[in-house]
Amino acid sequence: MSEQYASDTLKDFVPEPADARRVVVLISGNGSNLEALIEAQTHDALGGEVVAVVSNEPDAHGLVRAREAGIDAVVLPHREYESRDAYDGALIKVIERHEPDLIVLAGFMRILTPRFVQRFLGRLVNIHPSLLPDYQGLNTHARALADGVSEHGCSVHFVTEELDGGPVIIQAAVEVAEGENEETLKEKVHAREHLIYPIAVKWCLEGRLQFTGQGAALDGTPLPSHGMRMSHADAAEELDEDIEP
């Protein structure tokens, strides 16, 4: 009886494919981190689909990257709005039109209003070119070099109302070489950004990462204040960089 029942029930049954998790990316410039996300998506390593790219700058090269990948590219110039709040209100409408599961800031050079942050709290992530909480704000590479630090890097974090102050998800470190300059350090940090941002986005889209009142949690386990940390050696190995003996 049970064998017949199973046969009758499951015969020719094909499960419906689950809808891909949806991502909207906000940019202002070149879009190299956007390209890293598109590349990961191409290799089924993102956990979802970038469905739209929105830029506040009409000439942002990232819009070209989006169009070439067949992604909806939207220009929303901030200079056409009388206030930051008015712009963010329009931006919310554009984003929600695409019904995203996650909003990714990839070089979006605007300070977001509390209204915007609260609307997407827990679904809004950013990448910052420093090992947070060090060097919040701008000019991180120059400031790190001026301080003579031996280690620098980048961080992916949840966005909160505190500028660059949300819970850190993952970091990648880079050793500052003797004679390092701002351009060479920036290039190394960029490579690490492109390495860890798709990882963090995938964790979010797979439901492995949670934003909680106490910080970020991965697979139900609270992360330390610096999130998951990828060492210089591990990042260099992943990137096939030469490691000094």
Angstrom distance (rounded) from CA 26 to CA 39: 17
Q: Write out the E strands in 66-131.
A: 72-75, 102-105, 124-128
- Please tell me the number of Cα atoms within 13 Å of 8 on its side-chain side: 5
Q: Which of 43, 61, 78, 128 is catalytic?
A: 128
Residue 130 is given by DSSP the state S
Q: Give catalytic status of residue 128 as yes or no.
A: yes
Which helix (H) or strand (E) covers residue 38, if one does? Answer: helix 32-42
Residue 185 is given by DSSP the state H
Whether residue 133 is preceded by a cis peptide bond, meaning omega within 30 degrees of 0, is yes
3-state DSSP assignment of residue 51: strand
Active site positions, annotated: 128
